[in-house]
Amino acid sequence: MPGLKEICENLSTHSKMLAQSSEDKWSDSSSPVDEPVRRILLRGSEIIRGATNLGLSENPTALGILSRQLLELFISLHWVISDPERAARYAEFPTNELDRLAQMAMKDGLLSVKSKEDGADVTNDFLSTRNKPKKGVSIEQQARESGILDLYQILYRFMSLETHGKSETVVNPAERSEVTLEHLQTIGAISQVFGHTAILWLLHRQKITNEKVRELLGA
């Protein structure tokens, strides 16, 4: 079985490959799905790069949080590719979410809009001109719609325990090394199916089957 250092080296190589793949031109034909796939691919490469550094410093707590984030990105990637009409919706998620949070804060009196002329508070006037923010699609719903709800229920939910601080913090050196290795292996498996799914689309315009997803994850 590969050791910690070897796994980190492999993840580092994989991260660089994914980052480059997000920029390469893989097909002569263009698709509205390509841009969100490239964005997700680049973000995933950065998470994997971060995992490499955390692995070398044996930080299993942070690795547990990153592994869930990588799985979340994979679910979104699979969701976008499963139905091209979702690409436009996914592209709107960041702006819509920022709009939603800003409006909530304004209604609670935590943010305000001031007039350029006299500095008067015009928050209510501003809000009256805004449409109700569009709701995004939860990760659970994305998993459900793309046929991989079991990954959400079995992997994502349990990974959330680490993310939300509902698990023990490992401090024993020997145990920390062991848990670090386990997290790196998990991230390695997710990174493989993550990269395979993205390149399969960008290069061949093919969608990964759910059976192949489970095979690559060893599920």
11-35: pLDDT as tens digits: 999 999 999 999 988 777 788 899 9
pLDDT at 1: 65
The alpha carbon dihedral of 207, 15, 25, 88 has a sign of: positive
Q: What b/e string do you get for 167-189 counting C-beta neighbours within 10 Å, with b at 16 or more?
A: eeebeeeeebeebbbebbbbbbb
Whether residue 114 lies inside any domain: the answer is no
Would the pLDDT of 153 be above 80?
yes
Residue 106 to residue 120: CA distance in whole angstroms: 15
Question: How many domains is the chain built from?
Answer: 1
Type of residue at 40? I
Q: Which residues contact 201 (CB under 8 A, 6 or more apart)?
A: 33, 37, 81, 207, 208
Distance of CA 4 to the CA centre of its chain: 24
> Token pair 């699609």 is at which residue?
137
Whether residue 97 lies inside any domain: the answer is no
Q: What is the mean pLDDT of the chain?
A: 93
Whether residue 158 lies inside any domain: the answer is yes
Query: Two tokens at 166?
Result: 């509902």
> Token pair 């790069």 is at which residue?
49
Whether residue 59 lies inside any domain: the answer is yes
Whether residue 159 lies inside any domain: the answer is yes
Give the domain extent around 150.
4-84+139-217
Mean pLDDT of 72-85: 93
H-assigned helices in 22-154: 34-56, 60-82, 86-107, 123-128, 139-145, 149-151
Provide the pLDDT confidence category of residue 197 given band limits of 50, 70 and 90.
Answer: very high
Whether residue 74 lies inside any domain: the answer is yes
Whether residue 123 lies inside any domain: the answer is no
